[in-house]
């Protein structure tokens, strides 16, 4: 079982992409995307961003460049597209920031009935799999720790400058 704190994290089980959104809630990619991209947000994006901003701003910019400034149609169109692309780069970046940002998270692997690498007790074992500046995802010999030793290991990682 793989768990992280306070964030959605994706993982694969038998080639099916799954997302853990709460402690005991795991959903598929289709369900995850339907939660992220609703019809309401799509309609607002299409009409607000594309029709109102791009369509009207593009028409006004074309009018300004070709009719008011007397630039020929094709160069005015290219200049229009260049100017609006630069403006909408920042608008789109702000719109999609929440959808595609990847937070730095701590990913844990929890196993039952494993031997603690430090004290040797058998029970539920924990290991940090991935954190900022720390990646043991493909570790061939993972070391699990009991809850007590886990805290000591976390302090050791923090002293080494790893954000856990």
What global pTM score does this model have? 0.41
pLDDT, tens digit, 9 for 90 and up, residues 96-135: 776 655 556 677 788 889 899 999 999 988 888 888 788 8
Find out whether 3 and 20 touch, Cβ atoms under 8 Å.
yes
Calculate the average pLDDT of the chain.
Answer: 76
Both structure tokens of 111: 């196993």
Backbone phi, then psi, for 2, in 5-degree steps? -115, 135
Average pLDDT over residues 147-163: 89
Phi, psi values for residue 32, rounded to 5°: -65, -45
Best-predicted range by mean pLDDT (41-50, 72-81, 105-114, 139-148): 72-81
Report the alpha-carbon distance of residue 12 to residue 159 in Å, rounded.
32
- Token pair 């780069």 is found at 89
Q: Give residue 108's pLDDT.
A: 79
């Amino acid at each position: 079982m793989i768990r992280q704190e306070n964030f959605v994290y994706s993982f694969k089980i038998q080639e099916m992409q799954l997302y853990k959104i709460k402690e005991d809630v795991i959903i598929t990619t289709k369900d995850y995307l339907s939660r992220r991209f609703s019809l309401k947000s799509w309609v607002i994006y299409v009409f607000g961003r594309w029709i109102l901003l791009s369509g009207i701003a593009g028409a006004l910019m074309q009018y300004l460049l070709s009719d008011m400034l007397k630039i020929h149609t094709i160069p005015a169109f290219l200049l229009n597209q260049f100017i609006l692309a630069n403006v909408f780069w920042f608008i789109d970046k702000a719109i999609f920031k929440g959808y595609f940002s990847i937070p730095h998270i701590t990913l844990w692997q929890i196993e039952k009935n494993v031997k603690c690498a430090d004290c040797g007790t058998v029970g539920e074992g924990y290991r940090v799999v991935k954190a900022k500046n720390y990646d043991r995802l493909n570790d061939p010999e993972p070391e699990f720790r009991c809850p007590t030793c886990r805290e000591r290991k976390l302090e050791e990682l923090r002293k080494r400058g790893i954000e856990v």
